[in-house]
Chains A and B, each alone.
Chain A
């Protein structure tokens, strides 16, 4: 997610569509999906045409790790699971798996949820974004 305490307001604001509702890109020529957003299709180059695409939020666990030594701002949530999720549209993204959940396995189905990621102290901004929930 790359959210940290000193992220500028402009960067946070610019990433809202991406973080809140998984808005990425698609090359309408070769039909390849990209997340995060891209301005240029690396395959089609100047012949391609990039359009905004809303991802379904459905995917599977590609890999995961249990976090016992969290970075600053995530201490209360440890231990928690972070995973690389392969979205059904193709791209892989890194995100937290929400609690409570049973032991995560590679290949488990997940769906995106909107959660609080981090707070900039008591008076700062609250950052929201996607995490994933296991689907039975």
Chain B
């Protein structure tokens, strides 16, 4: 099989972060008079992450980016670009990217901006960095997906909306690339499945409409488009990572495309940390890279409501065997402290007086 290497860019560092607090669907279901078992089965979710009172999209982005720099073994001063993708930026106007770059020590010699595209702004950042790196405009670009996602009390989203961040450093030095990005393909349309208006605290979604015409249409079109573009098929890949709004959609999408669902297992982390929105597919990829071996191939497809999907074909290189320090995702998944619904309300400041 011939694969055309389109981009001279790859992942030279990656890192993730998930806050330590968790809440189980049982706690939430108890409040709203729902059946916990039905929800756990229906959404394929065991628990979700909750940020600490002093955590937000900026602080989590810094944690993930520090891990990415540790894995890459490069100084923050070498970053030529920082893009932060989120739908929960701490400010409506004032960039998260500048705060993150400052905390890392990457300022002032760099370009930076915030991105928003529901759950896929992180992968959009990776594509921007690929362009900058492969055109020699920068040597290293940092793309981050980070979110403390909101769910309206009593809404189905409340069971899944989690918090987390993932950071990727894109570079072009062959000796540093842990995973070559062979190709990327995006599928985009105006699909009104989920939104949040200015000043609104919680998002609104289309219920069942978020499925077939939104998530499945875009994830499958992007994935199959990438297969076509790279002349590959499902059996050529060792791992698949799809955006994971819950524990079930990615598996259903795989089945519809004839992909062995066992290949999704390593990258499917929403059942234990919740949907981390802009970070979701990127945390899934971090989970795969934590165990991947040289020569293995990974296909990642994100999804952002509104709507679009970015698909990436990755080839893991021998450099992965020498990956340097950096906290693996498993560390964050294992560290947890459970909250009752009352404390969860306090953490997410859902009471009007907070």
Contacts and interface: CB of A to CB of B under 8 A. Distances in A.
Contact of A76 (B62, B102, B346): B346
Contact of A21 (B55, B63, B105, B346): B105
A100 interface: yes
Interface of B: 20-21, 52-56, 58-59, 62-63, 90-91, 99, 102-105, 337, 346, 354
Nearest to B56: A116
A77 B354 CA distance: 12
Nearest to A23: B105
Contacts of B54: 77, 96, 98, 115-117, 131
A99 B102 CA distance: 24
A101 to B, nearest CB: 9
Contacts of B354: 76
A36 to B, nearest CB: 17
Interface string A79-99: 000000000000000001011
Nearest to A136: B335
A20 B99 CA distance: 8
Instruction: State the 7 A-B residue pairs at the shortest beta-carbon distance, nearest first.
Output: A100-B337, A115-B54, A20-B103, A114-B62, A116-B54, A114-B103, A21-B105
Contacts, number: 51
Contacts of B346: 76
Question: For B54, B58, B91, which residue has the most chain A Cβ atoms within 10 angstroms?
Answer: B54
B90 A126 contact: yes
B20 A116 contact: no
A43 interface: no
27 contacts: A20-B99, A21-B102, A23-B105, A76-B53, A76-B346, A77-B53, A96-B54, A98-B52, A100-B21, A100-B52, A100-B337, A114-B59, A114-B62, A114-B103, A115-B54, A115-B55, A115-B59, A116-B54, A116-B55, A116-B58, A116-B59, A116-B90, A117-B54, A126-B56, A126-B91, A128-B59, A131-B54
Contacts of A104: none
Contact of B103 (A21, A76, A96, A98): A21
A77 B53 CA distance: 7
Question: For A20, A76, A117, which residue has the most chain B Cβ atoms within 10 angstroms?
Answer: A20
A113 interface: yes
Nearest to A54: B105
A16 interface: yes
A54 B99 CA distance: 17
Given A113-B63, A114-B62, A114-B63, A128 B103 contact: yes
Interface of A: 16-17, 20-21, 23, 54, 76-77, 96, 98-100, 113-117, 126, 128, 131
Given A128-B99, A128-B103, 15 more contacts: A20-B102, A20-B103, A21-B102, A54-B105, A76-B53, A76-B346, A76-B354, A77-B53, A100-B52, A115-B52, A116-B54, A116-B90, A117-B54, A126-B56, A131-B54
Contacts of A116: 54-56, 58-59, 90
A16 B99 CA distance: 9
Contacts of B52: 98-100, 115
A112 to B, nearest CB: 10
Contacts of A128: 58-59, 99, 103
Contacts of A16: 102
Contacts of A98: 52, 54
A131 B354 CA distance: 23
Nearest to B105: A21
A17 B106 CA distance: 11
Contacts of B103: 20-21, 114, 128
Nearest to A113: B63
B161 to A, nearest CB: 19
A58 B350 CA distance: 35
